[in-house]
Amino acid sequence: MNEYYKIISPLFSVIKDKTVLEYGCFIGDWWQMFELHSPKKVTAIDPRRHPDIESNIIKYNHFVDFKQIGYESLEKDTEHDVIVCAGVLYKMSSPFHLIEDIVSRNPEHILFETTGRYEKETQNLISLVRWEDNVSNRNWNEDIKRLQWSLSIKPRTVVEAFEFLGYDFETHINIQCEEYPSKQNVSMMKFIRK
């Protein structure tokens, strides 16, 4: 396990004996961390099936169920105790929409990773938008309306968005990464349902 995972590992104690939904699992590189904290079950979703995920699907199939699906298409009636979302927000054309979806699933805890220092979080939602990375045939008119809305009123930051939608910010760990997940500051934040 790399240094980044070792530092943020204490935040993952909330997944012990819990059901977990992981947004944007990519190649399953968080699954080793999950296994250390003994979740009951993990549902991991990603709209793409990266070739490097196959060995992890086999290795962790005793507790991970991978679904090649975008979060917009995942059924809403499934319940999970904890949601983990890392390395996803900055790829979204509508960051607030992603946060809305996470909150709509009503987990007890949310572990949420963003790039940039927490103190600036502090991160303006609009600055996280990457228009070129649209993997899910969204209705762009709706996304533009959401972006205009997020520019005009609060919530303007990640923390404000979760608080606006009924979650309290509990803690965070900030680390300067040398390589993974990126060569910049990363904050892993923990939220709890009010």
Q: What percent of the chain has pLDDT over 70?
A: 73
Residue 34 has pLDDT above 60, yes or no: yes
What does DSSP assign to residue 52? Answer: G
Provide mean pLDDT across the span 187-193.
Answer: 91
Q: Where are the domains of the chain?
A: 3-193
Query: How many Å is the Cα radius of gyration of the chain?
Result: 16
- What is the structure's pLDDT at 179? 57
The number of beta carbons lying within 10 Å of the beta carbon of residue 78 is 10
The C-alpha atoms of residue 191 and residue 167 are separated, in whole angstroms, by 6
Provide mean pLDDT across the span 35-60.
Answer: 96
Provide mean pLDDT across the span 3-26.
Answer: 94
Helix (H) or strand (E) holding 170: strand 167-176
State the virtual CA torsion across 129, 159, 182, 30 in degrees, nearest 10.
-110
Q: Which residue has the higher pLDDT, 43 or 128?
A: 43
Residue 118 has pLDDT above 70, yes or no: no
Q: Which residue has the higher pLDDT, 61 or 130?
A: 61
Classified by CATH at the fold level, domain 3-193 comes out as Rossmann fold (3.40.50)
Residue 111 has pLDDT above 60, yes or no: yes
* Sheet with 185-193: strands ordered across: 64-68, 41-46, 19-23, 82-85, 109-115, 185-193, 167-176
Provide mean pLDDT across the span 139-148.
Answer: 54
